[in-house]
Amino acid sequence: MPVFPDPTDPEARAQRPWVPTLAVLLLSLAVTGVAWLNARQNQQLRDQARLNRFVGRTEQSLRNRLGRYEDIARGAQGFFAGGNSPLSVQQWRTYVTGLDLPGRHPGLTSLAFIAQVPSAELGCSK
């Protein structure tokens, strides 16, 4: 009896009918695994690109908004440096109304200043 059976022998083939089936199954599983890994990697790349676009748009939006607020603050600084001393409430109100905050800057609800008041004018006794 030979150590290795002759593969062309019909009797030897009849003893192992599951070998081709197992080979097809393993090959199918390998192809499915590779396809799944490829699809997963592509999805992760798409998700990362989408996140990067979202972060970029959000960052640009914040930069734009903060830039507009900075422009308002610089305009107010120029208003105070304009020599309107003492500054009246009516002058400030006219300036802020001219900015059209609700229409042009909906996130900014008010703009105020605090004036230093001498203690003699406070009207309170110590």
Number of domains into which the chain is organized:
1
CB contact set of 111 (below 8 Å; sequence gap of 6+)? 72, 76, 96, 99, 101
Is 109 part of a structural domain of the chain?
yes
Is 126 part of a structural domain of the chain?
no
User: Which amino acid, one-letter code, is at 47?
Assistant: D
Phi, psi for residue 117 in degrees, rounded to 5: -115, 125
* Closest by Cα among 90, 114, 66 to 98: 90
Is 100 part of a structural domain of the chain?
yes
Q: Which residue range forms the structural domain that includes residue 34?
A: 10-121
Is 5 part of a structural domain of the chain?
no
Q: Which residue's entry shows tokens 């070998």?
A: 19
Is 75 part of a structural domain of the chain?
yes
Distance between CA atoms of 66 and 51, rounded to whole angstroms? 22
Distance between CA atoms of 76 and 56, rounded to whole angstroms? 30
pLDDT value, residue 96: 85
pLDDT value, residue 116: 78
What is the chain's pLDDT, residue by residue, as a tens digit (126 residues)?
556 666 676 665 566 778 889 999 999 999 999 999 999 999 999 999 999 999 999 999 999 989 988 888 888 888 888 766 677 778 888 888 888 888 888 778 788 888 777 888 787 655
Is 102 part of a structural domain of the chain?
yes
